[in-house]
């Protein structure tokens, strides 16, 4: 039995009076990839942002329910949100490297959290780039601008940047949707590698991608969690008609 990476209990997200996510409960296993699928506007990205309190930054957003990680409810008022986002990293839909060198992009987080030792920073930069399958492509240009990298390389750099602060969980919001097929394949390979060490939650509109990379899949519709199961089971024999209709392309 794998220990739980995140334990979500009756989580609701409101934007003003609108309930965008409705009383969702699910256990997200450590060292597995969990895919969140569903049509646009169904609540999956809102739910993802709730897992490291990114919805705090949205005016009028209100959260009820609990998200537990390592014995702590992240919605407790005493939680240090900066430390929480170190533990639960986020990779966005479009690559967003800092306007700095490749090296400085990776070193930024550890430095921010107090690490000053140059040799240790060098080590973290190399380790993070290696884990993101980017070291060989960048080792001779670490002090060049990250913006000179291709889109796919920039996205892997953003993944390396999130790894550098030693997270437990990595959240990914459609991480390959802005990339070409070759770069997308590299990101998918990387996700499969990274799950050996991290709990990964990914939002994707791409059914084939969800089937390829995830261990479990959660299907959202109109803010409700309709079905949550092993990916293979859900894609071959879903329990709910709505799930079957969505996966087979009859709606959404």
The per-residue pLDDT for range 84-115, each reduced to its tens digit, is: 999 999 999 999 999 999 999 999 999 999 99
Q: Note the pLDDT of residue 4.
A: 62
pLDDT band at 1 (very low <50, low <70, confident <90, very high): very low
Task: Tell me the per-residue pLDDT of 119-171, one tens digit each, with 9 for 90 and over.
Answer: 999 999 999 999 999 999 999 999 999 999 999 999 999 999 999 999 999 99
On the question of pLDDT at 2 being above 90, the answer is no
Residue 111 contacts residue 100 (beta carbons within 8 Å): no
Q: How far apart are CA 199 and CA 5, in angstroms?
A: 6
Reported as type and span, the H/E element at residue 97 is none
Strands 88-91, 216-221: pairing kind: unpaired
Q: Which two tokens stand for residue 62?
A: 């209100």
Q: Note the pLDDT of residue 209.
A: 96
| Nearest alpha-carbon partner for 225 in 66, 11, 81, 56 | 11
- pTM here is 0.94
pLDDT band at 3 (very low <50, low <70, confident <90, very high): low
Q: Note the pLDDT of residue 249.
A: 86
Q: How far apart are CA 215 and CA 32, in angstroms?
A: 6
Mean pLDDT score of the chain, rounded to an integer? Answer: 95
């Amino acid at each position: 039995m794998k220990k739980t990476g995140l334990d979500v209990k009756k989580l609701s997200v409101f934007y003003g009076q609108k309930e965008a996510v409705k009383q969702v409960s699910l256990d997200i296993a450590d060292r597995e990839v969990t895919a969140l699928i569903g049509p646009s506007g169904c609540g999956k990205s809102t739910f993802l942002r709730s897992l490291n309190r990114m919805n705090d930054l949205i005016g009028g957003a209100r959260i009820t329910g609990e998200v537990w990680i390592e014995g702590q409810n992240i919605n407790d008022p005493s939680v240090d949100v900066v430390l929480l986002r170190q533990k639960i990293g986020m990779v966005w839909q479009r690559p967003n490297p800092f306007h700095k060198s490749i090296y400085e992009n990776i070193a930024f987080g550890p430095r921010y959290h107090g690490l000053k030792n140059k040799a240790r920073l060098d080590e973290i930069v190399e380790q993070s780039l290696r884990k993101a399958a980017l070291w060989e492509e960048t080792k001779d240009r670490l002090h060049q601008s990250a913006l000179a990298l291709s889109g796919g390389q920039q996205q892997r750099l953003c993944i390396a940047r999130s790894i550098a602060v030693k997270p437990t969980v990595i959240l990914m919001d459609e991480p390959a949707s802005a990339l070409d097929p070759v770069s997308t394949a590299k990101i998918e390979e990387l996700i499969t590698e990274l799950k050996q060490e991290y709990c990964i939650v990914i939002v994707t509109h791409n059914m084939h991608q969800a089937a390829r990379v995830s261990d479990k899949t959660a299907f959202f519709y109109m803010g409700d969690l309709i079905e949550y199961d092993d990916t293979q089971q859900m894609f071959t024999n879903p329990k709910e008609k709505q799930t079957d209709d969505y996966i087979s392309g009859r709606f959404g």
